[in-house]
Amino acid sequence: MKKVLMLLIIFVSDALADNDFRYEDKIRISEAVKIVDHCKEVWTGWNIINIAILLVTDDNEYLVNHILPTPDFKFIYFDTILASNIYKRPRVFGKNLLATFPAVNGVSTIVIGTPENTNKNSREWVLILIHEHFHQLQFESENYLSGVDSLDLAGDDKTGMWMLNYKFPYDDQVISDQYKKLILAAKTAVLYLNTVSFNYLFEKYLSERKMFRSLLKDNDYKYFSFQIWQEGIAKYTEIKVSECIQHDYQHSEAFTNLKDVDLSDSFYSNIFPLQLRRADEQDLSSDKRNCFYTLGSLEGLLADAVNPQWKNQYFSEMFFIEKYYK
* Ranges 8-12, 171-175, 221-225: which has the least confidence: 8-12
Residues 190-200 pLDDT 10s:
999 989 999 99
Q: What is d(CA 80, CA 89) in angstroms, rounded to the nearest whole number?
A: 20
What is the SS3 assignment for the chain? Answer: CHHHHHHHHHHHHHHHCCCCCCHHHHHHHHHHHHHHHHCCCCCCCCCCCCCCEEEECCCEEEEECCCCCCCCCEEEEEECCCCEEEEEEECCCCCCCEEEEEEECCEEEEEEECHHHHCCCHHHHHHHHHHHHHHHHHHCCCCHHHHHHHHCCCCCCCCCCHHHHCCCCCCCHHHHHHHHHHHHHHHHHHHCCCCCCHHHHHHHHHHHHHHHHHHCCHHHHHHHHHHHHHHHHHHHHHHHHHHHHHHHCCCCHHHHCCCCCCCCCCCHHHHHHHHHHHHHHCCHHHHCCHHHHHHHHHHHHHHHHHCCCHHHCCCCCCCCHHHHHC
User: What is residue 4's predicted lDDT score, i.e. its pLDDT?
Assistant: 46
**290-306 per-position pLDDT tens digit:** 999 999 999 999 999 99
Q: Mean pLDDT for the chain?
A: 89
- Lowest average pLDDT, out of 238-252, 262-276, 297-311, goes to 262-276
What is the pLDDT averaged over residues 205-222?
95
Per-residue pLDDT of 16-53, as tens digits, reads 545 789 999 999 999 999 999 999 999 988 988 889 99
Q: What pLDDT score does 18 carry?
A: 52
In angstroms, how far is CA 67 from the centroid of its own chain? 21
On the question of pLDDT at 147 being above 70, the answer is yes
Q: Which amino acid is at 25?
A: D
pLDDT band at 82 (very low <50, low <70, confident <90, very high): very high
Of all residues in the chain, the percent with pLDDT exceeding 70 is 94
> How buried is residue 172: exposed, middle or buried, by Cβ count under 10 Å (0-12/13-18/19+)?
middle
pLDDT of residue 1: 54
CA distance 112 to 129: 8
The per-residue pLDDT for 183 is 95
Q: How far apart are CA 43 and CA 135, in angstroms?
A: 12
Vertex 82, ends 78 and 87: CA angle to 5°? 45
User: Per-residue pLDDT for 109 more than 70?
Assistant: yes
Whole-number percent of the chain with pLDDT over 90: 72
What is the C-alpha radius of gyration for the chain, rounded to an integer number of angstroms?
Answer: 22
Task: Enumerate residues 6+ apart whose C-beta is below 8 A from 115.
Answer: 28, 121, 122, 124, 125, 260
Determine the average pLDDT of the residues in 93-111.
Answer: 91
What is the distance between the alpha carbons of residues 92 and 200, in angstroms, rounded to a whole number?
A: 52
Whether the CA torsion 291, 54, 85, 136 is positive or negative: it is positive
